[in-house]
Amino acid sequence: MTAPLLEIDRLSIAFTTRRGDIPAVADFSLSVATGEAVGLVGESGCGKSTVALGVMRDLGRTGRITGGTIRFRGRDLGTLSEPELRRIRGNDIAMVYQEPMASLNPALRIGRQLMEVPRLHRGASRAEARDLAREMVADVGLPDPDRILNAYPHQLSGGQQQRIVIAMALMSRPALLILDEPTTALDVTVEAAIVDLVKGLGRKYGTALLFISHNLGLVLEACDRICVMYSGEAVEQGPVRHVFDRMRHPYTQALFRSIPLPGADKTTRPLETIPGSFLMPQDRPRGCNFGPRCTHFKAGLCDAAAIAMRPVPGADDHQARCLRFEEIDWQSRPPAPEATAPGEVGAPVLTVSGLRKYYEVSSGGLFGRRRRKLVRANETLSFEARQSETLAIVGESGCGKSTLAKVLLGLETATAGQVLLDDREVQETPIQKRGPRAVADLQMVFQNPFDTLNPSKRVGGQILRALEVFGVGATRRARRERMFELLDLVRLPRDFADRMPRQLSGGQKQRVGIARAFAGGARIVVADEPVSALDVSVQAAVADLLMDIQRTRRTTLIFISHDLSIVRYLADRVMVMYLGHVVEIGSTAQVFAPPYHPYTEALLSAVPIPDTRVEKTRIVLEGDVPSAIDPPPGCPFQTRCHWKDRVPNGLCARELPPMVELGSGHRILCHLSAEALGEMEPVFRLAAE
Amino acid sequence: MEPLSWTGALGPWLVPTLEAALIALALAALAHPLALLAGYRMGPGPEASRSGPGRAARLTGGLLRLSLWALAAVIVAFLIGGLLVQPDAKGILGRIATRLWPVWLSLGASFALVALFRRRLGLVGHLLGNPAGAVGLALVMFWVFAALFADQIAPFDPVTDVIAGMKNKPPGTPLPPPGDAAYGYYLLGGDALARDVFSRAVAGARVVLAIAPAATVFAFMVGITLGLPAGYLGGRLDILLSFLANLVLAFPVILLFFLLVTPEIVAMGVPTYMAGALFLFPLIFLTILWNSRFRTRPPLRAALIGATLGLGGWLYAGLAWNADPLGIVSMPAGVLIVFVSVVFVNAPSVFRIVRGLTLDIRTRDYVAAAQTRGEGPWYIMLWEILPNARGPLLVDFCLRIGYTTILLGTLGFFGLGLAPESPDWGTSINAGRGLLQFVPFPPLVPAVAIMSLVLGLNLLADGLREESLKE
Amino acid sequence: MAGFIIRRLGVMALTALSMTFIVFLLTNLQPNLEKLAKTQAGARITDAEVASWIDRNGYGAPMLTRYGEWLGVLPAPLTTDADGRAIGGRCLRGHPGLAAEEVPRFCGVLQGDWGYSTKFRRPVTEVIAERLQRTGLLMAWAFATMVPLALIVGVLAGMREGSALDRGLSTLSIATTSTPEYVSGVIFVAIFASSMVGLKWFTGSAKSAVEGATFQNFTLPVATVALYGMGYIARMTRASMAEVMTAQYIRTARLKGLSFRAVVLRHALRNALIAPFTVIMLQFPWLLTGVVIVESLFVYPGFGDALVQGAQNNDIDLLLAVSVVAVIVVLATQLLSDIGYAALNPRIRVA
């Protein structure tokens, strides 16, 4: 093996705060060879981004390297002077991060921002730089490079912006490209395209990649080697497939077992949650950082002294920071908790037919002619939700799923169509006229845990207010008792009632949000991406909690999500939305197996699955989701559909397809003939082991 | 009797020290930025600040800090020395320091209290750790206590004590014989009407600190009551209110004052009508506040609203219409017009700030959560949105008291509103500015007073902003 | 762009009409008119004489009618005596002895007739023009010192938030925003022009600046006007700069390998100056206050002094004209600020 391109050796980084130094990264070693792609995974706060910034030596005023070395092509980056460092930044090492819009200077044209790189590092002339930029823009797969070069960042879509950021990073053909969660802010189908692009370009230019992500599936797709981090340390690293198949650190395993892989099932094989919660760096224990949460913890051994990485036999370069990995039986699973029988699905409680919601927006900004434009957020939606059932609504941003939730809850009134709650029509009744019973029946759990609770009121007070409004309990004392019961229900200690929201973690806040939603004994709960902002290990716990409550209370759960893995895990029925239309609806099994709607097929193929046994067909969608202000004629999906040529006479571009019944409640919105649909193959298969 | 010198017996010791400290400070203040800039040019980037500035900059920085400390020490020495030396060895400064003893006592006590309970006090406790905030708090508290104890501090009556022969006299002038007055000197000299400048400055604090915070509170009530619905409900209401607010804001303040604060306007009764409208807002605000929060608990709601309307109505009748049936509450016409116009000028700015904050906060999920439980709009505005806007509003409140103080000074400076003999600072500056080049002290003292109070408020606001961002 | 400006002009016209009407209303109240009658026709006239003076001179009509006449959209009636000679009426003010047939029917602002100043005994237009020129000079100097200094201070402070340089400059800015003109003016005069300290570097009066502004007589007024606004702009610039410096795209630029200087100059400055630009433009209503204070403190007969004279002497036409000019200047700067904001900010320009 040749000398590694980047060699991080026993790196420690600390941040200075009011309360003293906080060690963010400790004893971290990693090497990246030329042309290699290394994935760095871990949950938020584990220090993975800090490592990246440490490599760039851009730790801000408060951060500093407290130990270890970072060598790039044999030179210690820690000892370089500022000008020397500048020659490496952007030239030999480049970086891409999460928010593409924020990464581009809003006041400068794209071209100028791209050209800056070769002009700085190669002393290229204006014309040369422009040629290079044009070439690079074409390379990242953007049409009409000259138009793009003259555009400002806000004129591009999120996916295009991220391509530009990648192009900018690759302008000087760096030897190492650091990608910090490059696709987290993007939709799944766009994400798939970006990952493909990065992989391809990395190969084309021989660029080594350091790919930072919380998404194990993406790392499997994009990387050769993986390094798993927990609480500032690398806990396991090695070749991707080796680590995925034969993990030798309890944290890695716990991580894998907490994400819904194909085969997980909410009743027979529920997700396992990691007990305890993430410790703040200053509270780290002696010995193994994961010790307090580890099921294999052995007092006297694991908490005796600092633990070093130890090689795992079987593959070179596979290491784990665990003293007991030889002794642990890696196949055994803890006994599944006694399975509550799935609730009997009852009669429909919510029936939506022909629902339409249009908004008027005035567009044109400050200078354009102010024109009233119609946003067609929802187009003739029809579906029903039954008692004790989980109906998942799936779709990418802008598909109208959040608008639907607002209409159901009465925050907006419908433009047309009918919403039946039990037998009452509520489509035109705003929430204030619904009466406390109907309001308490239909509640909502929100997406953003940092936003869902009022930051200036105590947790208990917020639940009490809901009880008051819903008219639960005759006295204050009774309501207080009820509030404690709700905290029990969501498995939070009762003394949390006196805490302020800022003292709670994201998952705990989300639990309070759930308690609040169930305060009035809700019969239908709309959960809008309730777990997507949480870390994977917490996601499982919150999702399972929702499921449990649903089972015992026979609640109807309408689960809005863009994450197909979790949807497959917990939904009974799935409804796929695109541009305000329902394009497919059916039971989970029906939707996740062919025949698919072409959009569902693409969605499924875009979902990264962290399982080496899964073989996927890649279908990469071109372009972006059209705007709901100006939807395409005919089928909403026709602009991106690659089955379109199987429909004769360009029917797709002219007529909205009918909702075709494929049997037992499985319906799709498509012109494809039964024959064509029959030819569809499953997007992914489990390879025989 | 001899006129007093500034420093008395301490002078020979402290004045040279003071001069040395000042010279060192000036040198360091000039050299330090230059040294810093030179250092940056050599090694810019975040590392430069971490590895520390160059040696020259470190030297000048140290000198800067040292001279600042020395200066502070000399000033403290003046105060403490002035308090401690023999009465006849005291200079002007020593005597002023002695007159101000209630202020020092209360200031020390309140700071000790805050320091003792700083953990439980939250934001205010954190302020002590913030240099700007602590200095600001000290300056503001100084004037608050000076206003409270004005009667004890001021040796003479600010309006009626006119002593023959003391017209336009310099600081430290002894009273002419027979000298049967309570105090022997005009510490900061006499003004054009032979009144004591020091006493007037202290009494002025009382006038200013009675009007400025109260007017700011009213402006906030008006701005909040209108800004919340404009931001939350939007629509035509927002368009109308925003247009009106912009209309008022587009008037140069000075023009509004010259148009509003005239005897003719007062004769027409305009200020009374304006007060009648503006003073209603606190009542409306509180009533809605209680109603929305306790609609689920009718008895409590009835009690609170009853108390608000009863007590508020009484104050309202007295303050706005001068029609208190008990004859206790009233406001002089001059003060009323000043008060009303200051509220009128400030309210639209508060409106804009509240509206902007509301537009931001109403997109949060907890607002949507309140909507999905069927809460009324006023509950959401007052109990979900407003508490979360309190940080920026508190900062603006401090800044705005300062601005209101400046506005009051402006009114006084043009002789608008308050009576010409009023001891407030603006009026005193107005009275003294004619002879400014020859008798500088009568206007200079209130000018410095305004500056220090507003500086204190601005520093306090800055400290609050910084500390609330850290949370 | 044109559509936007036309719409803005429409709103502006509406605002201007509302504002001038309010000013008209407040300056033409009954007590004002009675006072005017007494100053013009003698202090000892009876109430009946006051009423007839008011009627004869065209002040008796309803408020809206008079406002229309002042605007020049309604004809102003002429009072004639038995012989048909003009003896009073709006259009006769300032032109006594004009024959009835020579008196124009319309004589409002739209016709360019701004009225007649009772204090200066000259047409208002002349007074205003002369004084605007003087104040323009003061403002120009104040702006020329204030804006560049404030921007430099703000950018230097904001480019490294929390540094010693930032702390020092920020405290300085806070100190200047705490010093209104009437305070800084008094302190400046006491230090630099009075016998107290003895540094008689400048003159404490700017009266002689009418003949020709010199370093000696103009420095203190300019410094006084500039100081108060300077801190405010500097703090805005600092806040904006500090915010921009934490933006992701600044990190992008830094990690491209650009030097700190290039990051600040090429990437940060332009974005950071958008917010202060609007602030600078919106300073005009504030600056007017400063100008009025400074002009009366330093005895400089400019526009602000005209406002004070008009108000104190019940000079209705002058006060009205001053107000209208002030309002129009304010509205025009608001428009400019909007256009400039859009021009600086590509996100709005192209949308």
pLDDT tens string C100-143: 777 788 888 888 888 888 888 888 889 999 999 999 999 899 98
pTM of the entire structure? 0.87
How far apart are the CA of B169 and the nearest CA of chain C, in angstroms? 13
- For residues C191-219, give the mean pLDDT: 79
- Region of A593 please: left (phi>0), alpha (psi -120 to 50) or beta: beta
Q: Which of C78, C113, C148 is the last residue of a domain?
A: C113
Q: What is the pLDDT of residue B41?
A: 52
pLDDT over threshold 90, residue A429: no
CB interface of B with A, residues 303-362, below 8 Å: none
Instruction: Assign 3-class secondary structure to A156-193.
Output: CCHHHHHHHHHHHHHCCCCCEEEEECCCCCCCHHHHHH
A366 and chain C: CB distance < 8 Å anywhere? yes
How many residues appear in chain A? 689
Q: What is the pLDDT of residue C154?
A: 92
- Indicate whether C252 belongs to any domain: yes
Across the interface, of A431, A443, A454, the residue whose CB is closest to B384 is A454
How far apart are the CA of A476 and the nearest CA of chain C, in angstroms? 46
Across the interface, of A18, A431, A471, the residue whose CB is closest to B372 is A431
Flag if B365 and A446 touch (Cβ within 8 Å). Answer: yes
How far apart are the CA of C104 and the nearest CA of chain B, in angstroms? 30
Q: What is the pLDDT of residue A364?
A: 45
Structure letter (DSSP) for residue B51: S
Across B182-219, b (16+ Cβ under 10 Å) vs e yields ebebbbbbbbeebbbbbbbbbbbbbbbbebbbebbebb
Do C107 and C132 share a structural domain?
no
pLDDT over threshold 80, residue C280: no
Alpha-carbon span B186 to B3, nearest angstrom: 10
Flag if B44 and A411 touch (Cβ within 8 Å). Answer: no
C258 and chain B: CB distance < 8 Å anywhere? no
Do C149 and C107 share a structural domain?
no
What residue type is A506 in one-letter code? Answer: G
C180 and chain B: CB distance < 8 Å anywhere? yes
C239 and chain B: CB distance < 8 Å anywhere? no
Flag if B409 and C182 touch (Cβ within 8 Å). Answer: yes
Pairs of CB atoms within 8 A across A/B? 74
Q: 3-class DSSP state for residue C116?
A: strand
- For residues C261-266, give the mean pLDDT: 88
Domain residues for the domain of C255 are: 127-344
How far apart are the CA of B244 and the nearest CA of chain C, in angstroms? 9
A32 and chain B: CB distance < 8 Å anywhere? no
Structure letter (DSSP) for residue A572: S
CA distances from C245 to A89, A110, A564, B33 (A): 18, 20, 38, 20
Across the interface, of C1, C248, C348, the residue whose CB is closest to A97 is C248
- B238-243 contacts at long range (C-beta below 8 A, 24 or more positions apart): B238/B355, B241/B351, B242/B355, B243/C15
- Indicate whether C351 belongs to any domain: no
- Residues of chain C contacting residue A18, judged by C-beta atoms under 8 Å apart: none
Q: What is the pLDDT of residue B51?
A: 42
- Residues of chain B contacting residue A82, judged by C-beta atoms under 8 Å apart: 43-45, 47-48
- Indicate whether C211 belongs to any domain: yes
Pairs of CB atoms within 8 A across B/C? 152
Q: What is the pLDDT of residue B410?
A: 92
pLDDT over threshold 90, residue A281: no
Percentage of chain A surpassing pLDDT 90? 11
Write out the H or E segment, with its range, that includes residue B115. Answer: helix B101-116
- For residues C238-242, give the mean pLDDT: 91
CATH number at residue C293: 1.10.3720.10
User: Token digits for C15?
Assistant: 């605002």
Flag if B450 and C164 touch (Cβ within 8 Å). Answer: no
The stretches of C28-87 forming alpha helices (DSSP H) are: 30-41, 47-56, 63-71
Instruction: Please list the residues that pair with A63 across neighbouring strands.
Output: A15
Q: What is the pLDDT of residue B50?
A: 40
Q: Which residue of A has its CA nearest to B45?
A: A82
- For residues A33-60, give the mean pLDDT: 86
Flag if A434 and B365 touch (Cβ within 8 Å). Answer: no
Alpha-carbon span A288 to A274, nearest angstrom: 16
Alpha-carbon span A323 to A301, nearest angstrom: 8
Across the interface, of C15, C29, C165, the residue whose CB is closest to B36 is C165
User: Residue A371 phi/psi, 5° resolution?
Assistant: -120, 140
Flag if B374 and A64 touch (Cβ within 8 Å). Answer: no
Q: Which of A130, A117, A450 lies closest to B388 in space, CA to CA?
A: A450
Structure letter (DSSP) for residue A656: P
Alpha-carbon span A243 to A255, nearest angstrom: 12
A455 and chain B: CB distance < 8 Å anywhere? yes
The stretches of A28-180 forming alpha helices (DSSP H) are: 48-56, 82-88, 100-103, 110-121, 126-139, 145-149, 158-170
- Indicate whether C118 belongs to any domain: no
* A343 band by pLDDT with thresholds 50, 70 and 90: low
Domains of chain B: 198-470 (1.10.3720)
Question: Is the distance from CB of B9 to CB of B85 less than 8 angstroms?
Answer: yes
- Residues of chain C contacting residue A368, judged by C-beta atoms under 8 Å apart: 3, 351
Instruction: Assign 3-class secondary structure to A200-236.
Output: HHHHHHCCEEEEEECCHHHHHHHCCEEEEEECCEEEE
- Indicate whether C76 belongs to any domain: yes
Across A572-592, b (16+ Cβ under 10 Å) vs e yields bbbbbbbbbbbbbbbebebbb
How far apart are the CA of C17 and the nearest CA of chain A, in angstroms? 24
How many residues appear in chain B? 471
Alpha-carbon span B321 to B275, nearest angstrom: 8
- Indicate whether C156 belongs to any domain: yes
Across the interface, of A61, A447, A469, the residue whose CB is closest to B373 is A469
Class of residue C229 by CB neighbours under 10 A (exposed 0-12, middle 13-18, buried 19+)? buried
Do C185 and C328 share a structural domain?
yes
- Indicate whether C120 belongs to any domain: no
Q: What is the pLDDT of residue A427?
A: 80
For chain C, the domain total comes to 2
Flag if A88 and C270 touch (Cβ within 8 Å). Answer: no
Do C295 and C181 share a structural domain?
yes
CA distances from A527 to A216, A518, B292 (A): 25, 12, 28
Q: Which of C243, C241, C232 lies closest to C270 in space, CA to CA?
A: C241
Alpha-carbon span B262 to C22, nearest angstrom: 15
Q: 3-class DSSP state for residue C246?
A: coil
Q: Which of B321, B332, B317, B334 lies closest to B265 in space, CA to CA?
A: B334
Across A616-647, b (16+ Cβ under 10 Å) vs e yields beebebeebbbebeebeebbbbbbbbebbebb
Mean pLDDT split into 10-residue runs, chain B, 471 residues: 75 81 86 70 43 67 84 83 79 83 90 83 77 90 92 85 81 76 79 87 91 94 94 90 89 87 82 89 91 86 93 88 80 86 93 93 90 89 92 92 93 87 89 84 91 94 84 62
CA distances from C4 to A154, B349, C134, C349 (A): 21, 25, 34, 11
Flag if C257 and A56 touch (Cβ within 8 Å). Answer: no
Do C189 and C59 share a structural domain?
no
How far apart are the CA of C253 and the nearest CA of chain B, in angstroms? 12
Which chains pack against A, by 3+ Cβ pairs within 8 A? Answer: B, C
Do C95 and C177 share a structural domain?
no
Do C310 and C161 share a structural domain?
yes
Distance of CA C284 to the CA centre of its chain: 6
Question: Is the distance from CB of C164 to CB of B32 less than 8 angstroms?
Answer: yes
Flag if C271 and A369 touch (Cβ within 8 Å). Answer: no
pLDDT over threshold 90, residue C287: no
Flag if C247 and A108 touch (Cβ within 8 Å). Answer: no
Sign of CA dihedral B125, B128, B133, B135: positive
User: Token digits for C157?
Assistant: 């402070």
B387 and chain A: CB distance < 8 Å anywhere? yes
CA distances from A112 to A129, A130, A132 (A): 9, 8, 12
Q: Which of A104, A366, A369, A629 is the best substitution to test chain C (most C C-beta atoms within 10 A)? A: A366
User: Token digits for C284?
Assistant: 């005009």
- Residues of chain A contacting residue C251, judged by C-beta atoms under 8 Å apart: 58, 97, 103
CB interface of A with B, residues 73-102, below 8 Å: 81-82, 85-86
Cα distance from N-terminal residue to C-terminal residue, chain B? 59
Alpha-carbon span C322 to C292, nearest angstrom: 12
Instruction: Please list the residues that pair with A616 across neighbouring strands.
Output: A684
Do C104 and C16 share a structural domain?
yes
What residue type is A311 in one-letter code? Answer: P
The predicted-structure confidence for A614-670, as pLDDT tens digits, reads as follows 888 878 777 777 877 778 888 888 888 888 888 877 888 888 888 888 888 888 988
Structure letter (DSSP) for residue C104: -
Do C103 and C19 share a structural domain?
yes
Flag if C256 and A168 touch (Cβ within 8 Å). Answer: yes
B390 and chain A: CB distance < 8 Å anywhere? yes
Do C294 and C256 share a structural domain?
yes
- Indicate whether C31 belongs to any domain: yes
The predicted-structure confidence for A433-460, as pLDDT tens digits, reads as follows 888 888 888 899 988 888 899 998 999 9
According to the per-residue pLDDT averaged within each range, which of A157-171, B337-351, C56-70 is highest? Answer: B337-351
B122 and chain A: CB distance < 8 Å anywhere? no
Q: Which of C252, C254, C260 is the best substitution to test chain A (most A C-beta atoms within 10 A)? A: C252
Which chains pack against B, by 3+ Cβ pairs within 8 A? Answer: A, C
CB interface of B with C, residues 10-69, below 8 Å: 29, 32-33, 36, 40, 44-45, 48-49, 61
Do C230 and C93 share a structural domain?
no
Distance of CA B307 to the CA centre of its chain: 31
Q: Which residue of C has its CA nearest to B243?
A: C15
Do C190 and C93 share a structural domain?
no
What contacts C279, CB < 8 A, 6 or more positions away? C232, C233, C236
* C351 band by pLDDT with thresholds 50, 70 and 90: very low
What contacts A104, CB < 8 A, 6 or more positions away? A110, A113, A153, A161, A164, A165, C249, C252
Q: Which of C88, C113, C138 is the last residue of a domain?
A: C113
